[in-house]
Amino acid sequence: MRVLALDTALANCAAAVFDDSTETPCLCVQQEQIGRGHAEMLMGMIGDVMAEASTAFTDLDRIVVTKGPGSFTGLRVGLSVARGFGLVLDKPVVGITTLESIARTASKTCSQLPLLVALPGKGQEIYAQLFDGNGAAMDAPSVRNLEDLPNAVSAGTRLAGAAAEAVRAACAFSEEAVIGEQAYPDIAEVAKLGILANPLDSAASPLYLRPPDATPQKKGRIERLPERAN
């Protein structure tokens, strides 16, 4: 199966063409850690990897894209582009979470122990999900507060993701608990998960675990407060 994989969920901007039926599955990758500006960079990356992989868009079997948790703006960029390609090409679009893709990378060195993947949220919050040693999810992605983790994370759990060290400190675990501090997904792992996923169970819908900091202003005039009686 040949897929186009996209990631704009976090600080990284990445595109890859991946084909699991070839001797070298990862045909072409482009990525850059940019923080912001995914919309300006992504389409150029896609054109480059498709050309370097000698792949026409009609050769693709599906589109794979990260769906969060991550930046509200970044997520919208990747998901909009992926859905657009899916609509035009009449190909399935599969959404993969940033947490599960990081877990897939980290589980290779996890020694069958439980694995908590944690990414920074706002303030003392983290985005987290627990996986088994094979990278299979044991619970749903959620927002957790660091101060609540000592009672929620069992001893022996391995930690990965950009907030792994913060979790380790909060739980007073030894340094060996942290097996990786990957800040964003490996685009090749995103592609592999996308090939394995059932499109019916992995919709390309944004995974927002908390509301945006900025909310749209209500339409119309600001309501007047009731006049106070004299």
Q: Give per-residue pLDDT as tens, 65-94.
A: 999 999 999 999 999 999 999 999 999 999
pLDDT of residue 213: 57
11 and 86 both lie in a single domain: yes
Find the mean pLDDT for residues 190-213.
90
pLDDT band of residue 17 (cuts 50, 70, 90) is very high
**How many structural domains are present in the chain?**
2
Report if residue 90 sits inside a domain.
yes
CB within 8 A of 102, min separation 6: which ones? 117, 119, 160, 161, 180, 182, 184, 185, 186
113 and 143 both lie in a single domain: yes
Structure tokens at 177: 């608990």
Q: Where are the alpha helices (DSSP H) in 136-197?
A: 164-171, 187-196
pLDDT of residue 210: 75
pLDDT of residue 212: 61
Q: In what order do the strands lie in the sheet with 142-145?
A: 142-145, 125-131, 115-120, 158-160, 178-180
For residue 201, is pLDDT > 60?
yes
For residue 164, is pLDDT > 70?
yes
87 and 159 both lie in a single domain: no
Report if residue 113 sits inside a domain.
yes
Report if residue 191 sits inside a domain.
yes
Least confident stretch, 12-26, 53-67, 92-106, 212-226: 212-226
Query: pLDDT tens across 103-138, in order?
Result: 999 988 877 789 999 999 999 999 999 999 888 999
pLDDT band of residue 211 (cuts 50, 70, 90) is low
pLDDT of residue 223: 45
Domain that holds residue 189: 2-97+185-196
Report if residue 35 sits inside a domain.
yes
pLDDT of residue 225: 44
pLDDT of residue 222: 44
pLDDT of residue 37: 93
pTM for this entry: 0.89
Q: Using the Cα atoms of residue 103, residue 108, residue 114 and residue 115 in order, give the sign of their dihedral.
A: negative
133 and 46 both lie in a single domain: no
pLDDT band of residue 143 (cuts 50, 70, 90) is very high
Least confident stretch, 21-25, 27-31, 39-43: 21-25
